[in-house]
Amino acid sequence: MLFSDQKKQVNLFNRRTFFLYLLKISLFTLVGWRLYNIQIFNSSKYKTLSKQNQIDLEIIFPVRGKIFDRNKNLIARNQKVYDLYLIPEKTKSINNTLNSLSKFIDIDFSKRRKIIQLSSKVKKFQKIKIFENLSWKTLEIIESNKYNLQGIFISEDYLRVYPYKEIFSHLLGYISKPNQQELSLPFISKMPNLEIGKEGLEKTFNPILVGKAGQREIEVNSSGRVIREISKVESVKGEEIYLSIDLRVQEYVVNLLNSYRAGSVNVINIKTGEILCMASTPTYDPNKIIQKPNTLYWESLLSNNLSPLTNRSIQGLYAPGSTFKMIVAIAALKHGIINNSSTHTCSGKIEYGDRLYHCWKTNGHGKMHVVDAIKQSCDVFFYEISKQLGIDKIAEVAKDFGLSQTFEISLPNQKKGIIPNKKWKKNKMGESWYAGETLIAGIGQGFVLTNPLQLAVMTSIIASDGKYVKPTLVKNNNNVFKTNKKYLNEIQIIKKALFKVVNEKKGTAYNSRLEDIKFAGKTGTSQVKRITLSERESDDFRKKEQEWKNRDHALFVGYMPHDEPKYAISVIIEHGGSGASTAAPIAKQIFNFISKIEL
């Protein structure tokens, strides 16, 4: 009995041992298979997953490209600046560090609270930006007291700087952080925190100014702490750009314009199409826009009734006044309405339909041919030829001379203006064109609107005997101009008149002539307020000082030297009065300045 029980116990033990052994074999087999699956069969998959968990990529932002004027003067550069950070884990007490730091930098209560709140949300080894763009004085103090400032870390960065401030504001624009829509742009998609151009040439040339991002491959642990740097590819700085603008001319002109509330001057090298000056006032300081905080300055610009953010050279639209008479004269000569000796008599007004159309000279100019009519700017002469021409023929010639056109000058938001014709009015207003409107258009008023750059291009085409001048803001653009002899004979007559405007008595710009450098041009006065018949005939009205906003715009277009034209100019002074008294003297000063420097 005892033996039988012992035998049963042995058998039971052997069975249990067998099952335990079998279980052990199964476990080892399972573990072995799992190890084989991980290390051999799926090794590439898990290596990739492991690398993703351990390797991180940091973007290295490129330095923005510089911008120069035509003579290599730096007009948009990058200044190395220093930002102040706090690393929580490197200080025993954030409060103590901030207390020590406040001896050198003013840290208000809200700033302190924000830093402390942020430190509780980030990982202890992550940097918290406290201040940016430290002054040299502050930087020196912090560096000399660094041993008392636990956890403080200084980092280098770059700030865009415009050394000539307001002089180039409308041309260059400014940079800032990209908005949500801009983040999708190809050149910025991988660098969401990089500042980009928002206006002007900074915006247009973003793709080449931005440069190419670099990257740093780093190994991090599970909490994100950097263990080591594995590899590094440096960023590539943005390309440099050389503009056609001449700093000396631009600075001189802006300073001239600052004597007036608002205006624009454009100077073009007729031979190359290079824009030497594009000035618009009032201006603004782009440095104040990109420096923080900028809210008050930005709001002051937006609330300014003179719109200092507007580039009047390409966005300001003005009735061209008598500067448009050259176009009307060319059209009349081309279509045989007049010839060089055709005359009309100006008595100071003409009657057409049920309206009187007045000349600026109350008692009239007497008998006028086309050259004298341009020289003395006789309105009646141009009323007469305009009504024979018709608006469609005038519009056709105007567009051939660059009016109502935009140009490939790398500046956004150009306004085309209006060169009206019968079809335009029908489409725009649903009304027919009235014959009287042609007379008003014939002296550059009514629906006719142009921007200052267009007027400079128009003048360049006339000065170059019809060669279509393509304006550019980039130096050595290798412009190829189309030679057009379509209006060559007509232009020769107009150029004789433009010389007389400046250099002969009774010419409207005779008082602005230069003795050494002969230039040619045309004055213009653009009416902004309709004058009633009673006002026109009142001596008191003529003597009375008009409120600034009711004064006429003053215009002048011209070129120099008159015999071998090289430089064309357009001048517009908003509410400046007459072109002869305000705009022409400005052109004289600019031409005189240009003649004395080597361009």
Q: Which residues contact 307 (CB under 8 A, 6 or more apart)?
A: none
**Which of 258, 282, 260 has the alpha carbon at shortest distance from 548?**
260
Residues 481 and 570 in one domain: yes
What's the CATH number where 579 sits?
3.40.710.10
Q: What is the pLDDT along the chain (599 residues), one digit of tens a residue?
A: 444 555 555 555 566 666 666 777 777 777 666 666 655 555 554 454 455 556 666 777 899 999 999 999 999 999 988 888 887 878 888 888 888 888 888 888 787 888 778 777 777 777 778 777 787 788 888 888 877 788 787 888 888 999 999 999 999 999 988 888 888 888 777 777 788 999 999 999 999 999 988 887 777 665 556 677 677 888 899 999 999 999 999 999 999 999 999 999 999 999 999 999 999 999 999 999 887 668 899 999 999 999 999 999 999 999 999 999 999 999 999 999 999 999 999 999 999 988 999 999 999 999 999 999 999 999 999 999 999 999 999 999 999 999 999 999 999 899 999 999 999 999 999 999 999 999 999 999 999 999 999 999 999 999 999 999 999 999 987 776 777 789 999 999 999 999 999 999 999 999 999 999 999 999 999 988 665 555 545 555 455 567 878 899 999 999 999 999 999 999 999 999 999 999 999 999 999 999 999 88
CB atoms within 10 A of CB 219: 14
Domain termination residue (choose one: 210, 227, 242): 242
What are the φ and ψ backbone dihedral angles of 160, each rounded to 5 degrees? Answer: -70, 130
Residues 236 and 252 in one domain: no
Q: Which residues contact 485 (CB under 8 A, 6 or more apart)?
A: 465, 466
Q: Decide if 473 is inside a domain.
A: yes
Q: Decide if 406 is inside a domain.
A: yes
Distances in whole angstroms, Cα of residue 503 to Cα of each of 33, 370, 561: 103, 17, 12
Domain termination residue (choose one: 194, 213, 242): 242
Distance CA 108, CA 505 (A): 70
Q: Specify whether the CB–CB gap between 279 and 314 falls below 8 A.
A: no
Distance CA 20, CA 7 (A): 20
HSE-up of residue 550 (Cα within 13 Å, Cβ side)? 8
Residues 87 and 100 in one domain: yes
The boundaries of the domain holding residue 161 are 59-242
Residues 172 and 84 in one domain: yes
What's the CATH number where 74 sits?
3.90.1310.10
Distance CA 455, CA 245 (A): 18
Q: Decide if 235 is inside a domain.
A: yes
Q: For residue 443, what pLDDT is reported? A: 97
Domain termination residue (choose one: 206, 225, 242): 242
Residues 199 and 346 in one domain: no
Residues 281 and 263 in one domain: yes
Distances in whole angstroms, Cα of residue 297 to Cα of each of 231, 284, 285, 288, 303: 44, 10, 9, 7, 10
Q: For residue 2, what pLDDT is reported? A: 45
Q: For residue 10, what pLDDT is reported? A: 52
241 forms beta bridges with 67
Q: Specify whether the CB–CB gap between 458 and 402 falls below 8 A.
A: yes
Structure tokens at 546: 């008009």
Q: For residue 43, what pLDDT is reported? A: 59
How remote is the C-alpha of 171 from its chain's centroid?
5
Longest dimension (CA), the chain: 157
Distance CA 459, CA 188 (A): 41
pTM: 0.84
Q: Decide if 122 is inside a domain.
A: yes
Total of domains in the chain: 2
Q: For residue 541, what pLDDT is reported? A: 46
Residues 206 and 335 in one domain: no
Q: Decide if 225 is inside a domain.
A: yes
Q: Decide if 160 is inside a domain.
A: yes
Q: Specify whether the CB–CB gap between 534 and 515 falls below 8 A.
A: no
Q: Decide if 13 is inside a domain.
A: no
Residues 288 and 344 in one domain: yes
Residues 82 and 151 in one domain: yes
Distance CA 48, CA 144 (A): 47
Residues 389 and 535 in one domain: yes
Q: For residue 39, what pLDDT is reported? A: 59
Structure tokens at 537: 């005939």
Question: What is the radius of gyration, based on Cα positions, of the chain?
Answer: 37
Q: Decide if 38 is inside a domain.
A: no
Structure tokens at 406: 């935009």
Residues 206 and 251 in one domain: no
Structure tokens at 194: 């990089």
Residues 159 and 255 in one domain: no
